Amino acid sequence: MVGYTRRQAIAASSSFVSASLLAAPSLGQGKSRVVIVGGGFGGASAARTLRDIAPDIDVTLVVATETFSTCPFSNLVIAGEIPMSQITFGYEALISAGVSVRRGVATEIDAARNMIVLEDGEELSYDRAIVSPGIDLKLDEVPGYDAAATEVMPHAWKAGAQTELLRDQLAAMPEGGTFLMSVPNNPYRCPPGPYERASLVAHFLGKSNPTAKIIILDGKDSFSKQPLFVEGWERLYPGMITHVPFAENGGVLNVDPAAMTIETAFETFKGDVVNFIPPQRAAEVLLRSGLGGDGDWCPIDEATFESPHAPGVHVLGDSAVVGDMPKSGFSAAVQGANCAHVVASLLRGAAAERGVLLNTCYSFVAPDYGISVAGVYRVNGEGRLASVKDAGGTSPVGANDDFRQSEADFARSWYTSLTRQIFG
Partner 1 sequence: MFRSLIILALICAGGAGLAQDTSAEITAESCAVCHNDSATAIPKIGDRSFKELTDTLTGFRQAGSTVTIMHNFVAGLTAQEIEDLARFLSRKEEN
| Residues binding partner 1: number (CB under 8 A) | 59
Question: Considering only residues 135, 396, 401, 423, which one is a binding residue for partner 1 as defined by CB under 8 A?
Answer: 396
Give the nearest distance from C-beta 354 to partner 1 in angstroms.
7
Asked whether position 238 contacts partner 1 by CB under 8 A, the answer is no
Asked whether position 97 contacts partner 1 by CB under 8 A, the answer is no
Question: Considering only residues 62, 142, 337, 366, which one is a binding residue for partner 1 as defined by CB under 8 A?
Answer: 337
Measured on CA atoms in the order 170, 176, 177, 179, is the torsion positive or negative?
positive
Residue 145 or 377 having the CB closest to partner 1: 377
CA pair distance 398, 402, nearest whole angstrom: 12
Asked whether position 3 contacts partner 1 by CB under 8 A, the answer is yes
Strands 241-244 and 252-256: unpaired
Question: Considering only residues 330, 364, 369, 423, which one is a binding residue for partner 1 as defined by CB under 8 A?
Answer: 330
Helix (H), strand (E) at residue 41: helix 41-53
Interface segment toward partner 1; rule CB under 8 A; list 11-19, 167-175, 197-205, 317-325: 11-19
Cβ burial, residue 98 (10 Å; 0-12/13-18/19+): middle
Asked whether position 19 contacts partner 1 by CB under 8 A, the answer is no
CA pair distance 64, 233, nearest whole angstrom: 38
Helix (H), strand (E) at residue 331: helix 329-347
Give the nearest distance from C-beta 59 to partner 1 in angstroms.
17
CA pair distance 252, 139, nearest whole angstrom: 14
> Helix-strand-coil percent breakdown of the chain, rounded to 5?
35, 25, 40
Footprint of partner 1 on 33-92 (CB under 8 A) = 49
Degrees, nearest 5: CA angle 350-352-357: 155
Asked whether position 356 contacts partner 1 by CB under 8 A, the answer is yes
Residue 138 or 354 having the CB closest to partner 1: 354
Cis peptide before 174 (omega within 30 of 0): no
Positions touching partner 1 (CB under 8 A) are 1-6, 8-15, 17, 20-21, 24-25, 49, 330, 333-334, 337-338, 341, 349, 353-358, 360, 372, 374-376, 378, 388, 390-393, 395-396, 403, 406-407, 409-410, 412-414, 416-418, 420-421
